[in-house]
Amino acid sequence: MIASTFRAMRDVLSPAFRSILWKAIGLTLLVFVGVIVALWVGVEALLVLPWPWLDEVIAGAASLVLLVLFFFLMAPVTAIFAGLFLDTAADIVEDSHYPHDRRGNPPSAWSSALMGLQFGLLVLVVNILILPTVFFGIGIAIMLIANAYLLGREYFTMVAMRHMPARQAAQLRKANSGRVWAAGLVPAGLALIPFVSILVPLFSTSYFVHIFKRISMDQRIA
């Protein structure tokens, strides 16, 4: 897992990743700017009360909500972008690190995007349910554990499906569920770090290609 982490970091910063890196950064920033602007416009509409002290309370609460949302929305945004960048990034990683292995066969662009969107919405719902726990001091830990499972499951399955049918990919993941969950802790943790979190979609793609190859080698299935 440690070796895969460092390999993925080098991959993300490599010249081959540069074009999709800028696309990932641009789309991520666009989503968050849109969310922040929408929320701030909503707050400004409320700040017309006759009591200045209440306006200050609302503004302070809004700032806190924006900060919390920044952390809690990173994993869903990462999941949504998975389908957009996974196949191109996975091809680069496989060609660079595993040139003698059989190259993955990516699904259609529509299927990949739809899978990423569906999973992103699932992660969003889970994170919304987790959100109240942040006020009890355990929200970050619960979010890390849950997103490690969700992100690990999503990225590993999508990478595996490039090499085998969906049912077989799911079986492989279940047979290595503990290992996949532990691997998911890395991107789940990176998603909590401001600015670094923007790199998570590409990092996770490269990272889980390496994880999949290691598991495949151990089980001699690819």
- Quote the distance between the C-alpha of residue 164 and its chain's center: 22
CB-based contact 130:146 (threshold 8 Å): yes
The pLDDT value given to residue 82: 64
pLDDT digits (tens), the chain, 222 positions: 888 999 999 998 888 888 888 887 787 778 777 777 777 776 666 666 566 666 666 667 766 766 666 666 666 666 666 667 778 889 999 999 999 888 888 766 677 667 777 777 777 788 778 777 776 778 788 888 988 998 899 889 989 999 998 899 999 999 999 999 999 999 989 887 877 777 888 898 899 999 999 998 887 654
What is the rounded distance in angstroms from the CA atom of residue 196 to the CA atom of residue 92?
21
The pLDDT value given to residue 70: 66
Q: Is the dihedral of CA 190, 196, 199, 203 positive or negative?
A: negative
- Structural domain span for residue 7: 2-219
**Secondary structure (3-state) at 34:** helix
The pLDDT value given to residue 19: 82
Q: How many domains does the chain have?
A: 1
